[in-house]
């Protein structure tokens, strides 16, 4: 007669796995914006280079740089950044101004105001709109709408999640708020 698992054991293991599902396995509709941003940033992070434990994420291992993109995504995850917060960062004068200024400088260097005078082109106005309504909007749309395509980024998030949950539970190195990004909504 084949063995079967007891109901209690099966039920308990299901409850514990449901408490912290792998964020990378969630459907896009249940993933937080911070998780989607994480998958976007970490899509090209080598999975084998995600190295961390209760003490934190390492920057080098055996002389090799690791966690290149993980370090960049951690502030957004710890903050559980929302879409509106991220859009505010992208459109802030500090960020937007420098991007607009850089695009405008390229335009002016090529003398596009005079070259494109017949079509009423203006480097200053069109650079502002190009960055704010073009580039920034495209970045946010890609973050929100490409979750399913970012398989590697989602696997990297699973590794980050495992480390952060351990940091939160075992060592209380990070607060509960730092792992809210990986909770299903």
Q: What is the pLDDT of residues 152-164, one digit of tens each?
A: 999 999 999 999 9
CA-based nearest residue to 160, from 43, 50, 66, 55:
50
Q: Output the pTM of the full model.
A: 0.81
- Confirm whether 5 is domain-assigned: no
- Confirm whether 1 is domain-assigned: no
- What pLDDT sits at residue 1? 53
In the block, tokens 């708020």 appear at 177
Range of the domain at 139: 24-182
Name the residue with higher pLDDT: 58 or 162: 162
- Confirm whether 19 is domain-assigned: no
Number of domains making up the chain: 1
- Confirm whether 176 is domain-assigned: yes
- Confirm whether 109 is domain-assigned: yes
For the chain, percent of residues with pLDDT exceeding 70:
89
- Confirm whether 16 is domain-assigned: no
The string of pLDDT tens digits covering residues 6-33 is: 444 444 444 444 466 899 999 999 999 9
């Amino acid at each position: 007669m084949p063995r079967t698992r007891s109901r209690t054991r099966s039920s308990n293991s299901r409850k514990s796995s449901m408490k912290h599902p792998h964020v990378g396995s969630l459907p896009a509709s249940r993933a937080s914006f911070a998780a989607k941003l994480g998958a976007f940033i970490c899509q090209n992070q080598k999975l084998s280079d995600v190295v961390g434990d209760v003490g934190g994420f390492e920057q080098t291992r055996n002389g090799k740089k690791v966690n290149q993109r993980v370090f960049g995504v951690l502030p957004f995850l710890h903050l559980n950044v929302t879409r509106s917060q991220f859009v505010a960062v992208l459109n802030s004068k500090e960020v937007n101004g420098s991007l607009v200024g850089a695009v405008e400088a390229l335009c002016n260097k090529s003398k596009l105001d005079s070259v494109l005078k017949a079509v009423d082109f203006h480097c200053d106005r069109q650079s502002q709109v190009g960055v704010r309504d073009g580039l920034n909007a495209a970045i946010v749309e890609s973050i929100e709408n490409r979750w399913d395509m970012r398989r590697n980024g989602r696997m990297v998030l699973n590794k980050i999640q495992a480390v952060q949950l351990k940091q939160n539970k075992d060592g209380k190195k990070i607060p509960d708020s730092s792992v809210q990004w990986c909770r299903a909504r």
